[in-house]
Structure 1
Amino acid sequence: MRTRTVLVPLLAGVALVTTACGGAAVAGQGPAAAPSSGPASPVQLTDAEVTDLFTSWNAALATGDAQQVADLYAPDAVLLSTLSGDVKDTPEEIRGYFADTFLPNRPQGEITESYIAVERPGLATHTGLYDFTVTDPATGQQSVVPARFTYVYSQQPDGRWLISSHHSSKVPA
C-alpha cells in the first residue's frame, strides 16, 4: 500500500502530522464505541483509529445487512455511491442503496492507497484507492473493481464516529 504523510493546520497555528497506515483492525472496537454517559468532548483520532472506521464499515458489508451498514452513517450523511448516479442524502436512501444495489454483489474492499487527514478534534478524512471484490449474483463469478474513495468521519454528540460524507467511484479506464 502506498501512503503519504499529511500536514493539516489546526486552530491557533498548531499543526497535526498524521501518516496513513495499513494495519489490521478489529471491527466494532476503537473510536466507533459510544461513551458510557454524558455528551462527548471532541477527540482527535489517530491514523490507526481512522483506518479502524473503514475496517468496521467493510466488516458491516460482509454481514450483508443493509441496516448494519447504514447505521454507520450520520443521520444527515451524503453518499455519492459507486454504482448509482444520484445522491443519497437520507438514511432511507442510503440503506436502500446498500440493500438493493451494492450488497447483492457481496462486496469486500481492500485499500491499496490511503491518505488520512485529521482536520481537527471531531473530524477526520480518509481518501484513497481501494479494490472491491464483487460477486455477480446471477453467475457467481467474482471480479475486482478498482475504485477511489473519500470518507469524512464526524464525531456525534454521543461520542460515536459516523460517516458524514462518502464518495466512491470506479477508477476511470
Structure 2
Amino acid sequence: MKCKEEISALFDKWNQAVQSGNPDNVVAMYAFNGILLPTVSNQVRHNHAEIRDYFVHFLAKKPSGVINESNIRVYGDIAINSGVYTFTFSPDGQEPFSATARYTFVYQWFGDHWLIVEHHSSVMPEK
C-alpha cells in the first residue's frame, strides 16, 4: 500500500492544491505541527496559520510545478520525496517566469492518509 507510486502521487495532489489558488487546500496537506522551510521567504513556518500565511502570498503568483528529479524512499509510516522541481509563475499583468528549486517533502502516515510533516524548498544556487 505504501509504495513509491503512492508517494509520487502526493506531489501531484499538492500541486493541484497549489494550482487551485486556495491556500486552505494546500494547508490541508500539512500536519498540524508541520514545518515549512519555504522557497521565497526567510521565515520558517511552524504551524497551519504560518504555512497558510506563506501560501496566501505564494499562490498570488499563480504557480504551477513540475518535478525534474524525484528520489523517493519509504520507511514504514515515514516517506521522503526529495529532488528538483521547477515552478512556472503567471502573475496577473506580468510576464510568466520560472524558478528551479531543490525540495524535500517528508510525509507521515496517519492511519488512513499521508500528511506533510516537513517541506523544505530552496532555489538552486547556480544558474
Q: Do they fold alike, i.e. is TM over 0.5?
A: yes
Q: Which segments of structure 1 move beyond 3 Å, counting only runs of 4 or more?
A: none
Please state how far the C-alpha of 1:156 moved relative to its aligned partner.
1.5
Distance 1:141 1:46 in 2: 39
Distance 1:113 1:95 in 2: 27
Please state how far the C-alpha of 1:112 moved relative to its aligned partner.
0.4
Aligned letter for 1:110?
Answer: V
1:66 equivalenced with 2:26 (yes/no) = no
1:118 equivalenced with 2:71 (yes/no) = no
> Where does residue 45 of structure 1 map in the other structure?
2
Q: Structure 2 residue aligned with 1:163, among 99, 109, 116?
A: 116
Aligned letter for 1:104?
Answer: A
Aligned residues: 126
Please state how far the C-alpha of 1:140 moved relative to its aligned partner.
2.6
> Where does residue 97 of structure 2 map in the other structure?
143
Distance 1:143 1:115 in 2: 26
Normalised to the residue count of structure 2, the TM-score between the two structures is 0.95
Aligned letter for 1:76?
Answer: N
- CA displacement 1:49-104 (0-9 Å, x = unmatched): 001100000000110000010000000100000010111001100011101x2100
> Where does residue 33 of structure 1 map in the other structure?
none
% same residue: 37
Q: Structure 2 residue aligned with 1:107, among 57, 60, 63?
A: 63
Gaps of 5+ in 2: none
Matched residue SS, 1:58:
helix
Gaps of 5+ in 1: 1-43
> Where does residue 83 of structure 2 map in the other structure?
128
Distance 2:110 2:46 in 1: 17
> Where does residue 85 of structure 1 map in the other structure?
42
Please state how far the C-alpha of 1:136 moved relative to its aligned partner.
3.3
Distance 2:86 2:18 in 1: 14
Distance 2:72 2:64 in 1: 21
Matched residue SS, 1:144:
strand
Aligned letter for 1:47?
Answer: K
